[in-house]
Amino acid sequence: MYLEPHFPGWHVDCEYNRLDANPKELPRCPKDPVPPTDLDARTVYPDIIVHKRRTQENLLVIEVKKATGGDEDADHCKLRHFTDPTGAYRYAWGLHLILPKKPDGTLSPTWFKDGKRYG
């Protein structure tokens, strides 16, 4: 809700994993805990997305982690899939944010575009 004013004309959703009536799925990523029964794809819940609901217009997908938690490689893999221009979702941008341990710490952003780490 705090981000929506910064993206006029777009919807901002948290933990949103739908593409119409279907759950969002991505190919398996190394180091990502996937149930052994899930052989082809995995359901994903991006932390924050900026998109236009019920369309294929996807602007930004964001994964956020604390400095001490989560596997960066798995998140980077997901963001490469989400921003792949030949993939199912084709987000224009992906962002991986690592929040600092202390309030005065530095954010560690990593950007993705066209299925690759950007910059």
| pLDDT (tens digit per residue) in 71-86 | 678 889 889 999 999 9
Q: What is the pTM of this model?
A: 0.80
| pLDDT (tens digit per residue) in 39-77 | 455 567 788 999 998 888 999 999 988 887 666 788 898
- Rounded CA-CA distance 94/117 in Å is 9
Eight-class DSSP state of 69: S
**Residue 80 in contact with residue 115, Cβ under 8 Å?**
yes
Burial grade of 26 (CB within 10 A; 0-12, 13-18, 19 or more): buried
Convert 80-91 into a string of H (helix), E (strand) and C (coil). HHHHCCCCCCCC
| pLDDT (tens digit per residue) in 89-99 | 999 999 999 98
